[in-house]
Every structure is written in C-alpha cells, then in structure tokens.
Amino acid sequence: MLITHKITRLLLSTSLALGLSSVAVADYPERPIGVAVSYGAGGATDFQARIVTMVAGNDDALGQPMYIMNKPGAGGRVGWNWFATEAEADGYTLSAYNVPHFIAQSIKGGVKYDVNSFEPVANWGADPAVIVVGKDSPYKDIKSLMDYAKENPGRVTLSGAGLLVGHHIAALQLQKAASVKLAYIPTKGGGAAAMKAVIAGDVVGGINNLSDAFRAQQAGNVTILAVADVTRNDFLPDVPTLKEAGYDVDNSSVNFRGLMVPKGTPQAVIDTLAAKVPAMFEHKRVTGKMKAGGSPMLVMDRDAVKAMWAERQAYLEELLKDL
C-alpha cells in the first residue's frame, strides 16, 4: 500500500506540476474549493467555518463555492496531520486552523506538522476562553472559586474540550497566576461535552469557548465568572477579565480561527486568497450570522496572522516548557 501510494503521488505530482505551469493565475479558482475542518460536524469550528465560507461563490468573492470536509479526531491532530502530509498544494484544498491548538500540539510533539508547515490566509474569529460554573454553583465570582481552590488543592475540577487546547492553556495560566492546583478534566466530544459536564454538575466548573458559554448563559444553564482576555468582550460587558479580578492571565488562550493552505502552494494562488478572503469574511451575511450565533469575530489579514503565529509559537514554547 505504501508503494502504490508513492507511485501515485509521483505520477500525480508530475502531472500536477505540468498542469499547473500552464494554468494562468487569472483562472483560479476554476472549481469548488474544499476546506478541511479538523473537528466534527456541529462543533464550533465546523459551524463557524460553514458560515464564513457561505458567500465564497459570489462573483465579488472567489467565484467558486467552498465545501467543508470534516476530518475529526484526537483534538484536531488527525485533520492537520492529513493536511500537512497529504493535501494537495494547488489551492483547491484549504484547512481551518485553530490557534493555540495546532501550535501547542506541534510543540508537544508526536505530530507531523509545525507552525512552518502551513501558510496562513486570513483569520476570522477570536473566541476567548471563559470560566463557567453551573447555575446552582455556590461560587458567584472567580475570587471565591480560587479561594476554595487554594484551600483544597487538586479538588476543583474544571472541564475543558481536550488537552493542549485553548481551555487547557487557560487552566495552566490560571494555576500559575493564582498559585493554586486545579484538576483539569479534558472531555471527549468537544466544547459541548465539556459544557454538559458543567451543567450536569459532574465537575465544579469549566473552561469553555465564549461563544458556547454565552449561549448557555443566555439559556440560564451556566454563569460566566471571568474572561481570559486583555479587555472585556462586547458580548459580555459585565463579565470581568481575569486580570481585573487580580489574576495575571493574558490572551494567549484565545482561540483564533482562520483559513490556511499547505506549504508549497503557488505564491500567486496564496496572493489571490489573501486578497479576497478577508473581504469575504466581512460580508454582511457572514457577520450577521456569526453575531446571531454568538461567535466573536476578528478579521486579520495574512501578514497579521503570520505575526500572530510567530508570537504564539514563542510564547507557547515558554509556557509548555514546564509541562
């Protein structure tokens, strides 16, 4: 099977190279573009990706529709491994990225990608982590929760959507900042499962996406105690940041989401995408639906994302050294 794979790749890449050299850039894109999402259908990244790629078919956008391919597994590793090693770099296969997830995973090791395996195109969302507790919880603010944690090291269980995801990073930072020992419980099943654990009382509290927590709070099932960001969020004007509450946690756990292409994609294709995709993200229909879904947006262009990735790489290397 490996041999056939190699021959196939060789033949394919040869014909591809021959083909590409004769394709005029002005023709890109000629057919629908696939966007790989490294998480299951129905999750936050998935439905946000579906919304932001809704208008790709418009004439003033890319002119060709984008379709989503779910490649879930192992917190995103499966999809990104595939993207780094098997996706064709011809501009017809993109992927959604989640920072800090893929960077943290590559620093930890055991995966086939790192921050240099991909070329960013544009960023669409910035979903900070928030600390939540169930609606019947005795802890009404972050301070009382942390005080309890200080007296009872290792007793405060906090659910999160997995290891080395934004929630986990926030938990690590909070532990350091408040000098407490927390029990981070990664769940299988993404943010929804982590939220369920909080609502059901399986855990003392949880760290989750602002978007999911916002909706759960609106429905009256949880209370958001604090936001892990540098400024308060527009969706939650009354919720303090962890910094304001006295815990020095910055925005390194913010879940940035955007689109990227594999390394080796022709520069002309990257330039076309980098020019058109940010505008696509800012289309009224897209921003309207994102707002309605409680998903905070932050559109960043390619250069800004490159800088962000580099900065995150440096910070996470430092943070995860002690892990």
Which residues of this chain interact with other proteins, rule CB under 8 A?
Answer: 1, 4, 8, 11-12, 15, 32, 34, 40-43, 46-47, 50-51, 54, 67, 69-75, 77-78, 81-82, 85, 105, 108, 110, 154-157, 162-164, 183, 185-189, 192-193, 195-197, 199-203, 212, 215-216, 218-221, 289, 292-294
Residue 16 CB coordination number (10 Å): 14
Question: Smaller CB distance to other proteins: residue 108 or 140?
Answer: 108
Contact call for residues 112 and 81 (beta carbons, < 8 A): yes
Least distance in angstroms from the C-beta of 4 to other proteins:
5
CA distance linking residue 54 with residue 93, whole number of Å: 16
Least distance in angstroms from the C-beta of 199 to other proteins:
6
- Beta pairing partners, 36: 69, 95
Interhelix angle 302-320/101-108, rounded to 10 degrees, is 40
Structure tokens at 322: 């002690």
* Sole residue written with tokens 């926030």: 170
Contact call for residues 169 and 100 (beta carbons, < 8 A): yes
Least distance in angstroms from the C-beta of 161 to other proteins:
11
Question: Smaller CB distance to other proteins: residue 51 or 146?
Answer: 51
Question: Smaller CB distance to other proteins: residue 23 or 78?
Answer: 78
Burial class (CB in 10 A: 0-12, 13-18, 19+), 110: exposed
Least distance in angstroms from the C-beta of 43 to other proteins:
7
Question: Smaller CB distance to other proteins: residue 144 or 157?
Answer: 157
AA letter at 229: D
Least distance in angstroms from the C-beta of 214 to other proteins:
9
Least distance in angstroms from the C-beta of 113 to other proteins:
12
Burial class (CB in 10 A: 0-12, 13-18, 19+), 140: exposed
Contact call for residues 36 and 96 (beta carbons, < 8 A): yes
Least distance in angstroms from the C-beta of 112 to other proteins:
9
AA letter at 289: K
Question: Smaller CB distance to other proteins: residue 74 or 230?
Answer: 74
Question: Smaller CB distance to other proteins: residue 50 or 143?
Answer: 50
Question: Smaller CB distance to other proteins: residue 120 or 294?
Answer: 294
